[in-house]
Amino acid sequence: MPSNESFTSNERPSLQEDPVRRVGPDLGENEQTLQAIFELCSDVVFRSVALQDNAKLLLVYVDGMIDKDVVQSSILRPLIYDGLPQGLRTLDSLAQMCDLQLVAALRTSRVTAFEEAADAILQGSVAFLAEDEDSILLADVSQYETRAIEEPSTEATLRGTRESFTEQLRTNTTMLRRIITTPKLKMETFQVGKLTKTEVVLSYIDGIAAPGLIDQVRSRISAIDIPSVLESGYIEEYVEDTNYSPFPQMQSTERADVVSAGLLEGRIAIFISGTPIVLVAPMTFWDGLQAPDDYYERFLYVTMNRWIRYIFSLFSLLFPSIYIALTTYHPEMMPPKLMLSITGLREQSPLPTVIEVFLMEFMFEGLREAGIRLPMQIGPLVSIVGALVIGQAAVAAGIISAPIVIVVSAAGISSFVIPRYRFGYPFRMLRFPLLLLSGLFGLFGVALGLIVILSHLIQLSPLGSPYLEPIAPTKKNMLQNVFLRKPRKRTS
Amino acid sequence: MKKTMIVLCFLLLSTVTGGCWNLREPNQLAIVIAAGLDASEDGRLKVSSQIAIPAGLSAEDSNAGRNRSFVVVSAYGKDFMDAGQNIQTQLSRTLFYAHRQTILIGQRMAQNGLAKHGIHRYLDMIVRNPKSEIRSVIWIVKDGEAKDILGTKPVFDPLLSTALSSIQMSLGMKPYYYREFLADSLTHGGAILLPAISLQRSSTKFVYTGAAVLNKEAELRLSGYLNPLESYYANWITGRQRMLTVTALQSQGAGSSISIRVKPLKRHVSVYKDKQGMRVHIRLHGNGDIVENNTLLDPSNAKDLHIIQDQLGKVANQAVAHLIDKAQKQYKVDFLGIGEHVHRKYPQEWKSLQKDWNATFAKLPITAEVHLRYQDPGQTNSSM
């Protein structure tokens, strides 16, 4: 695992601290300087070519990061066989070619500092160094192996696009461009990370997104000072308001349609090179409970599904603690027959209800965590062991009572009803303090815990937009979209 | 932040260590599902509790027939709570009253009460004690003690508690809950009808035996019983009956009968006052379907239908007349709830009447009429 933690700020590589070294006219000297920069970098290739008039040309590139075909057929071959490219003006020397940037590549640039050149080479450019030329011509011919566009794996939908973002930033922004075809779709690029120099693109639609929001995010991204960015989580941590909330304050998605929907609603999106996960901010509580295809499917089903999600998310948070409160503190609140059957099943249990529920909750979370990381081949093993050993055997042995298994698994399953996977985390996490409270104080404790959670949610206002909007503060015209998904014809 | 965390931690610790902990695991409770109140022959209070044995109820163990699903524990005491404490001495788990579904009152208790007081005096505990359930159904045990009924095992349910209210519902009555009993007994004048149950001597099953009449003017002492059929009509008049099957014997051809099931039962009690004094007219009407026809009459024939309705109406009319007779002549108490109608119509007069309403009621001219209309002849026309 690559880790950025090993690079602390005082251990930064010396590359940045060096005084800027300029390119001189002597090719041999320039080559030596570059060789020194790329010392012990076996993947950097130095290729010198002698052309017709004995003019020497030096190509520097990183093996595997450039399109060899293009370099060979469009740059090297014409130079070697046909001599200097003849454009509008006749070229006399290689130096002139470099000066006029006359190579058959779309993106070229001329730099005079070695450091800039080195950066470009590492990002997939070919550097051309010629005799008697005190600048380096860079042609962007980068091409490297990337993953193909695949179906979203964590945000599956029944309806809607099957494309998911990839690790390549440009592919991702292209996907967005293809959906929102307006020059008002802005993409501001930032470079974050001293070592990784990760490209971060802040995207928004000019005129829809609030300028204040854009400014805020822009300044927060610019202020990031870390050695490396490996995933969008790094950026998220710096841009979000508080790290001490169990609730996510940004949507993270791998679907282009989710990003577009966000942008069209006036949010901003942050693309990060090297990860298929794009951040959309700000986010509200209700966004976490909406699925991407809510707006594609007919509104009646969607409304029903939304309510199922609302009920199940509450259920996943409260069911175990309410079970504890009702059975151990308020048995009078249960229907007599239910009470009697629960009591009957509990007769043998050696442990108090609270401990039992805690044990099972821990087991459940353990099984869930184990299931994520395991290789496909051993995955089923976990479920077998979980179901047989913990489910059946523990009940049969009388260690855990059957209702507890039902309660814990029902609450666990219902937390997976939450369409955005990471939005289920707070519900699963907050279950534990609520369990403790209900074990100590009964329903009173549950109510206390809920009050704390609610007051946290109410004061949470990521990037200036209240988390519980439109419920609190109440926005009447937006309310309908929380309780039901209104048909579009009527909403307009 | 740090300060609040510390304060929270201390609060949490204080609650945990302070012993303010009323957590009780369900298997530390003795769940009382029915209570029985009896007076012993020497006039002492005997309270019996039917306590569920959850292990005997749970699905896994039910196939092992040896497990009993409940146990009946009795004890004497000065009052209910005193007796409850004496019951507790026989049990290893804390008595838990909140699931008490049924209250049974033995006949001797209902008749004589305790220490010269009727059961009116003893209603208090059930309301005052917050742990007690006021949604229990309340029954009088005819010719027996509550304890005997508590010991019986219902046919379907494992416990008596749910069985008793189901009996009422399947007979077409509204279950009579304790809170209604309380509300009824707090108004003055008249009497209360409570469902009655008795033990079949031959088997150890219980059976619905009509209604018990408790005289409110005598501290809710038992005046007598109505048989099941009378209780249905009495409930119709008081508005507690939802459904009734009226069967008429056809005079022509011995033993042939026709039955109509009357579903929405309506009643209208009118109180008039003129020079002769107060008069009461009870109108009962209901629509029903013919559910059995063993006669030669054809309901699709207008003439026959007329006969059918006449016959059925006559049966019902006779039953009601007999019931009113019983109330006025035999028991001399108003268990039909006429007093409440008078109260509503003539609130001023009621103030003077309520003291001795039963005496007034016994002399009141009451007329009654029953109208039964048929709605549906059933799947066939004439008898097959």
Q: Name the most confidently modeled range: A157-166, B256-265, B297-306.
A: A157-166
- Distance separating alpha carbons of residues A43 and A52, to the nearest angstrom: 29
What backbone phi and psi angles, to 5 degrees, belong to A271?
-95, 140
Contacts for B274 with CB less than 8 Å, ≥ 6 apart: none
Q: What is the pLDDT of residue A93?
A: 72
Does the beta-carbon distance from A343 to B27 stay under 8 Å?
yes
Does the beta-carbon distance from B12 to A327 stay under 8 Å?
no
For residue range B149-183, list pLDDT tens digits in order.
888 887 777 777 778 888 888 888 888 888 888 88
Q: Which is more confident, B16 or A71?
A: A71
- Residue A128: strand pairing partners: A59, A137
Q: Please state whether beta strands A125-130 and A56-62 pair in parallel, antiparallel, or not at all (unpaired).
A: antiparallel
Confidence of residue A11 (pLDDT cuts 50, 70, 90): very low
Cβ atoms < 10 Å from Cβ of A336: 21
Give B77→chain A minimum CA distance, Å.
Answer: 25
- Least confident range of A145-149, A258-262, A358-362, B53-57: B53-57
Q: What is the pLDDT of residue B321?
A: 92
Does the beta-carbon distance from A329 to B29 stay under 8 Å?
no
Does the beta-carbon distance from B15 to A352 stay under 8 Å?
no
With beta carbons less than 8 A apart as the criterion, state whether B118 and B83 touch: no
Does the beta-carbon distance from A346 to B54 stay under 8 Å?
yes
Q: Which residues of A touch B99 (CB under 8 A)?
A: 331-332, 336, 339-340
Q: Which residues of A touch B61 (CB under 8 A)?
A: 344
Q: Is A375 helix (H, G, I), strand (E, B) or coil?
A: coil
The string of DSSP letters for A380-412 reads HHHHHHIIIIIIIIHHHTTSS-HHHHHHHHHHH
Is domain B241-378 in CATH 3.30.300.210, yes or no?
Answer: yes
C-alpha torsion angle, residues A487, A488, A490, A491 (rounded to 10): 110
For residue range B278-330, list pLDDT tens digits in order.
889 999 988 888 888 887 778 788 888 888 888 888 889 999 999 999 999 89
Cβ atoms < 10 Å from Cβ of A219: 10
For residue range A455-474, list pLDDT tens digits in order.
999 999 999 899 998 888 88
With beta carbons less than 8 A apart as the criterion, state whether B361 and B190 touch: yes
Q: Which is more confident, B58 or A6?
A: B58
What backbone phi and psi angles, to 5 degrees, belong to A187?
-130, 100
Confidence of residue A434 (pLDDT cuts 50, 70, 90): very high
Contacts for A146 with CB less than 8 Å, ≥ 6 apart: A166, A167, A168, A171
- Distance separating alpha carbons of residues A273 and A172, to the nearest angstrom: 9
Output the CA–CA distances (angstroms, integers) from residue B146 to A378, B103, B116, in the order listed: 63, 9, 20
Residue A10 has pLDDT above 50, yes or no: no
- Extract the tokens encoding B192: 């209360």
Give A8→chain B minimum CA distance, Å.
Answer: 29
> In this structure, what DSSP letter does residue B27 have?
G
Q: What is the pLDDT of residue A452?
A: 93
CB pairs under 8 A between A and B: 82
- Tell whether the torsion through CA atoms of B289, B294, B299 and B305 is positive or negative: negative
Identify the residue whose tokens are 């996490």: A429
Q: What is the pLDDT of residue B98?
A: 87
Q: Which residues of B touch A451 (CB under 8 A)?
A: none
Q: What is the pLDDT of residue A2?
A: 46
Query: What residue segments make up the domains of chain B, in order of their start?
Result: 27-226, 241-378
Chain A interface with B: residues with Cβ < 8 Å: 327-329, 331-332, 336-337, 339-347, 349, 352-354, 439-442
User: Best mutation site among A327, A329, A343 for testing chain B: the one with the most B CBs within 10 Å?
Assistant: A343
Chain B interface with A: residues with Cβ < 8 Å: 12, 15-16, 21-27, 29, 31, 33, 52, 54-61, 96, 98-99, 101, 131, 133, 159, 161-162
- Residue B281: strand pairing partners: B270, B367
Cβ atoms < 10 Å from Cβ of B324: 21
What amino acid is encoded at B168 in this protein?
A: Q
Q: Which is more confident, A52 or A163?
A: A163
Cβ atoms < 10 Å from Cβ of B355: 11
The string of DSSP letters for B167-225 reads HHHHTTB---BHHHHHHHHHS-SSEEEEEEEEE-SSSS-EEEEEEEEEEGGGTSEEEEE
| End-to-end alpha carbon distance in chain B | 87
The H-or-E segment that residue B361 falls in is helix B357-363
Output the CA–CA distances (angstroms, integers) from residue B354 to B103, B326, B375, in the order listed: 28, 21, 41
C-alpha torsion angle, residues B324, B326, B331, B333 (rounded to 10): -10
Does the beta-carbon distance from B22 to A329 stay under 8 Å?
yes
Indicate the residue of A342, A344, A440 with minimum beta-carbon distance to B55: A344
- Residue B51: strand pairing partners: B32, B71
Give B169→chain A minimum CA distance, Å.
Answer: 18
- Distance separating alpha carbons of residues B118 and B104, to the nearest angstrom: 15
Bond prior to A350 in cis (omega within 30° of 0): no
Indicate the residue of B16, B98, B99 with minimum beta-carbon distance to A440: B16
* Global ipTM: 0.80
Give the residue from B140, B132, B265 showing the smallest Cα distance to B191: B140
